A and B are shown apart, each in its own frame.
Chain A
């Protein structure tokens, strides 16, 4: 259980400023440190709870589960451990929900499940999220929190980034609005696919956002890496995203956006 999720003890410590906080206080603040503003990672369940209309979320495709398609060393064990740790079958939780009574199709990634990595199940759930948006003519919202493609699925996982991209393309053809939200971290294969080609891209503050792992980038460069390299602030400065949105403003921001961009869908 992470600090932002409602830790079991009375006290917890901010991961950034190390201040001792009341667990209940941090929970009420949506996992944002009242002292330094650090946004702690949220589980998919808590993210859904703090973002969408209370009780509106209906999970779908919960029965999809990862298999070990290329018999990668230790993958099966890692899957079992991640299932035990998170109580989910994979890193993406998907379904339908509402924002101020506007129906939306949503997918939310839980970083705790193998670093939120994108394998066959996560991609299938994301693609079905886009397809539901198409079928039901509702906006699509995807929250990312991922280290990238799941290398334990080999070339299958590389193909998943093409597959989710294709689904975005179809939504675009049919004028289904799609909002992508980066949370810490949004990296590599996930950033180089559906996450980066939304109609509107938002990010939580200070989220790690980048293509190559920081070590690779630093090795490849003689020049000095900027201080804010591969952060939400860096990609915002470079025009890659629309806005940085603090967590407590995320729900009202999303409501405004789906009302504006999805007006044509409601007739």
Chain B
């Protein structure tokens, strides 16, 4: 079983590579040779697209885990920079330190001021370290709280971008109260009298994710995941075997499709052909359209109604029996 999206997509990536070489040849070829090469390019593209159709039509829960973690997918700052204008990053929890695994600030969306907050991962070693692999410490959640408060005071809608494997589990985070920070951030989101929309676009990892995802509308990208525990961790606990992640992924029903079916999220944003990582601008456009629609719908409600709606929505989550067995 593949452990990374590149392993899983290997045949596809090989086709992509071959296609790239053909294109390079065509670029430098003589005009008579070019026609033949272009015919072969068109053929290869067709073959690759059919291959994508086949692979992506049977994307199981484990493959979604791999795709959701793909480092070529747009990250939160990619969405923020492309979809918002005049973004100014604001930082610091005013208590202990800066946290680069959660970013946030003010910006404009369709010329309206909004507060944006999101987890941020890194793409290379230095970036990953700087972003702590997208795992926020207490100061990240406390910064988010500060920004939520400000949004509430200045009547700005809040948009959050969720993409984290988990909150930081280290000694430092425990020392400074990571659990309290997550709980307090959720609590703060329940107080907001402004529209809140959350987009789970990659990994929705447990408490680290829900800490900034108490929203009136929770949207998920088609191949994003949202889970109470990472599948590897679940497998380690249940079967003492982290390699049984694929089975755990299936058991946990961590896909956007399951979450929507259970009524735990509000909408799925379709990804471009072959996933967000194959066409980042396409994915960003799709997210922008969904945000515009949901923010416009929420704009019709006053602050009290928005707060009540958020409470009622989460209050109703959960399934159990009542009465005699």
Q: Which A residues are within 8 Å of any B CB, using their own CB?
A: 63-67, 69-70, 72-73, 89, 119-121, 123-124, 127, 149, 151, 153-163, 165-170, 172, 188-189, 191-197, 210-212, 216-217, 220-221, 223, 225-226, 229-230, 234-235, 238-240
Contact = CB atoms under 8 A, between A and B. Distances in A.
Given A151-B238, A158-B226, 13 more contacts: A64-B320, A64-B321, A65-B321, A70-B251, A73-B238, A149-B228, A161-B207, A189-B207, A194-B183, A195-B179, A210-B174, A223-B171, A234-B174
Contacts of B178: 192, 211
Contacts of B191: 169
Contacts of B214: 162, 165-166
Interface in B188-247: 190-191, 206-207, 209-211, 214, 226-229, 233-234, 237-238
Contacts of A151: 228-229, 234, 237-238, 252
B269 to A, nearest CB: 18
Given A64-B321, A64-B322, A162 B179 contact: no
B301 interface: no
A163 B317 contact: yes
A50 B84 CA distance: 58
Given A69-B262, A73-B251, A192 B207 contact: yes
B311 to A, nearest CB: 5
Given A120-B319, A211-B178, A240-B180, A165 B252 contact: no
Interface stretch (B15-23, B104-112, B253-261): B253-261
B169 interface: yes
B180 A158 contact: no
Contacts of B317: 156, 159-160, 162-163
Contact of A155 (B175, B228, B237, B315): B228
B169 A217 contact: yes
Main secondary structure of the interface of A (DSSP, over half): helix
A166 B210 contact: no
A66 B227 contact: no
B206 A158 contact: yes
Contact of B262 (A156, A189, A194, A212): A156
A71 to B, nearest CB: 9
The 6 closest A-B pairs by CB, nearest first: A212-B169, A120-B318, A191-B179, A158-B228, A69-B319, A192-B179
Given A63-B322, A162-B214, A196 B186 contact: no
A72 B183 contact: no
A86 B178 CA distance: 32
Given A155-B228, A155-B259, A159-B314, A66 B183 contact: no
Contacts of A169: 187, 190-191
B31 interface: no
Contact of B171 (A70, A120, A189, A225): A225
A194 B207 CA distance: 13
A226 B259 CA distance: 39
A159 B228 CA distance: 9
Contacts of B170: 217, 220-221
B167 interface: yes
B173 interface: yes
B325 interface: yes
B253 A165 contact: no
Contacts of B186: 161-162, 165-166, 193
Nearest to A65: B321
Given A170-B311, A211-B174, A240-B177, A155 B264 contact: yes
A5 to B, nearest CB: 25
Nearest to A123: B318
A196 B319 contact: no
Interface in B302-318: 311, 314-315, 317-318
A151 B236 CA distance: 12
Contacts of B319: 67, 69, 120, 153, 156
Nearest to B184: A197
